[in-house]
């Protein structure tokens, strides 16, 4: 990837779904700091300390699964859908938003 970046074929190098240990190992073994790290962020998985770690290293965060995982395999009675969470529904009702907007707002609050 570094060769592609030097040749101009890639503007930036990013990572996805790395753990903190993996990010630390990467930073310790290369001079290239990833421009971005895509990770799962939503009200059930806020990862505030991990986000602060990235900010301190100058790594931008992009999020995936901001509305929780909507796959049917995760919709059992034991887990349920995050957008059906009673706390999200309560906050949505109080703020005049829907659960998706509350979820996205939570992620925005964590990162910005």
Tens digits of residue pLDDT in 8-55:
999 999 999 999 999 999 999 998 899 999 999 888 888 889 999 999
Domain ranges of the chain: 12-111
85, 79 Cβ separation under 8 angstroms: no
In this predicted structure, the answer to whether residue 112 has a pLDDT above a threshold of 60 is: no
Residue 77: its pLDDT value, please? 62
In this predicted structure, the answer to whether residue 105 has a pLDDT above a threshold of 80 is: yes
Residue among 49, 48, 17, 9 nearest 34 (CA): 17
Whole-number Å distance between alpha carbons of 3 and 11: 11
The DSSP line for 30-46 is: -SPPPSEEEEE-BTTB-
């Amino acid at each position: 990837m570094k060769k592609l970046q030097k040749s101009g074929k890639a503007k930036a190098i990013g990572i996805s779904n790395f753990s903190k240990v993996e990010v630390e190992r990467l930073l310790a073994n290369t001079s290239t700091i990833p421009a971005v790290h895509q990770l799962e962020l939503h009200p059930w998985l806020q990862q505030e300390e991990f986000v602060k770690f990235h900010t301190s290293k100058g790594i931008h965060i992009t999020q995936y699964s901001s509305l929780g995982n909507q796959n049917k395999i995760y919709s059992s009675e034991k887990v349920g859908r995050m957008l059906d969470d009673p706390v999200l529904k309560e906050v949505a009702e109080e703020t005049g938003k829907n659960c998706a907007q509350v979820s996205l707002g939570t992620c925005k609050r964590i990162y910005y």
